A and B are shown apart, each in its own frame.
Chain A
Amino acid sequence: EAGVTQFPSHSVIEKGQTVTLRCDPISGHDNLYWYRRVMGKEIKFLLHFVKESKQDESGMPNNRFLAERTGGTYSTLKVQPAELEDSGVYFCASTKVGTEAFFGQGTRLTVV
């Protein structure tokens, strides 16, 4: 069974540019989460999808971040325009109802 896959592994962009991160969850997992780890801090929740619907966006930093989940399958997280403080590692996780979360390898985003 394939795990959670994230693209790209690394991204270096200039301040003001746009970046789109992608997450392919485990097949059959309706729940999809985005998390972020900023350097020196703990991993923090960003948002939660159930199928294609956003259940909780309480962790999204601001309106420069836009997440979508097309047809309840893969998800994208777009940052536009990127700021220096957006640098960090972005993780995606998927679960079945009430079970443990399986994480992808993360996307390391560096904004210069």
Chain B
Amino acid sequence: EDQVTQSPEALRLQEGESSSLNCSYTVSGLRGLFWYRQDPGKGPEFLFTLYSAGEEKEKERLKATLTKKESFLHITAPKPEDSATYLCAVRPGSSNTGKLIFGQGTTLQVKP
């Protein structure tokens, strides 16, 4: 069964304190691993897509990496505006519809 598990569920950081969020997955043929950011009362906002082990993507203070079993979202020197819920999702190769399987998310709070 396709499954995504994110850890930790919640993370509190001081401004400038770097850390990483984990996304572990089991999927029948990966056709993409996606990271989204979600602010309260809003829909998920696309951040990155990773397709193969060893791939890395960066955007400002965020860097996403991928292995065959997990993905990490590294946050370098975070700022309060990085506070949000970060969602990981996979697109299984077993499905030809492009649907996403989501993890429960990691809620990040960055204090000034």
Contacts and interface: CB of A to CB of B under 8 A. Distances in A.
B34 A43 contact: no
Q: Classify the secondary structure of A's interface with B.
A: strand
A98 B42 contact: no
Contacts of A45: 99-101
B95 A56 contact: yes
A43 to B, nearest CB: 4
Contacts of B43: 4, 6, 91, 93, 103-106
Interface stretch (B11-19, B44-52, B65-73, B75-83): B44-52
Question: Interface size class for chain A?
Answer: 20 to 34
Interface of A: 4, 6, 31, 33, 35, 41-45, 48, 55-56, 59, 91, 93, 95, 97-98, 100-106
12 contacts: A33-B98, A35-B102, A42-B103, A42-B105, A43-B89, A95-B98, A100-B49, A102-B46, A103-B45, A104-B43, A106-B42, A106-B43
Given A43-B87, A101-B46, 9 more contacts: A33-B99, A43-B89, A45-B101, A56-B95, A56-B99, A91-B44, A95-B98, A98-B98, A100-B46
